[in-house]
Structure 1
Amino acid sequence: MDEPATDRTTRPIRVAVVDDHPVFRLGMAGLLGSLAGIEVVALAEDAAQAVERVTEEVDVVLMDLHLGEDSGIETTRTLIRALPHLAVLVITMDEDDESVVAAVRAGARGYLLKSASPEEVERGIRAVANGEAIMGPQVAARAMASLTGSRTSVQVPFPELSDREREVLDLVARGFDNATIARRLVLSPKTVRNHVSNVLAKLGVPDRAQAMITARRAGLGGE
């Protein structure tokens, strides 16, 4: 007799929960574990644990954007590079445009707020596991507007910079320090420092002040 196929129709969706708050992490694991067809197979509180515990057995990662000193955006990017089959569903308190766009660019398939109902979380997990993209109603319209605006930009200053480096330079030109830039772009402070160093090298300027002047001359740093 033939063995039954082990595909999505015959086995549960295997989920990893990555969140630095133990009450939320364990509570979410309890909720998901009570749902038919969903199995929690890994829990992680930071980037290192996520990289270690999210394996090929995982189908969906429920990802917070703030993991203590680590960035959920960078962790998402790292996991998807290593495991392209992963579906990442962000669940966070952040509903600003920068966070939504950064998550989508990093490869997340879904974006929910932590105020989402259990039904919305379940629907989101099943949707991304099925290859769909999903966003909570509070963020969907704003996210689409931001993505459309980024695609229709005509002039791209400093083409030698990556998109992320250009975003960092724009915030430098506005006078923000590294800590503020890290919060706005949902990155770790270390990652922001690295981006600033790369920008200075690529622009051939000696310091942050000169980078600010150069960026403003090119039209960056406007509100």
Structure 2
Amino acid sequence: MKRLSSVILVSLLFICQSVFAQNEQISAQLDSIWKTDQGIRMELIKLQQQGKTNTSKFQELISEMKTQDSINQKKVFEILESGWPENLNLQQNQTLFLVIQHADLETQKKYLPIIESAVKNGKTLASNLALLKDRIALREGGEQIYGSQVWLDTNTGKKYVQPIENPEKVDSLRAEVGLPDMQTYLQQGFQMDWSLEQYYKDLPELKALLAKKN
């Protein structure tokens, strides 16, 4: 009996060590993906702020970003085959979401239920689901719910909040999922101010630009 107990104990110890090693590997992989996902985007933001969106450097970075996104997606999708990992820190958790957020429409729709489940089980933020829903809605030709998506006219440098389903209630809807109010969000993230009056004033112009782009 003692020998059997020892064998069981050793087996359990081996399993725990294997799980720990696997978790460590996933964490390290996600840390690396975060750097590649955000590094390029930070460079692009700097160029945007400098008004250099029409430069060859900007276009080179866009191409590089698309290539890197494909590489990151393959890695993240392999991780998610076994479900949303446990014991991730906030950055690692956000990395999984961001890679899905930066994917194409069909991929976003495929992984939407996984994000919904992760939110339900407390594994990722409700705000992540909100941002993903906004992006999917716009890509499908609809209107966003939470006002998270901003469009930049690269010819003029002007930024627009993309069409919102219910602009009058957007701040209360954002609060429900843990997002800051529109003024705070736009000022911190895009150096923009928010007002319903300006939103409605810009909306026809934005729709005309989007129609031309598509």
| TM-score of the pair, normalised by structure 2 | 0.28
| TM-score of the pair, normalised by structure 1 | 0.27
Bigger RCO (CA 8 Å, 6+ sep): 1
- Which structure's CA Rg is the greater one? 2
- Of Structure 1 and Structure 2, the greater strand share is in 1
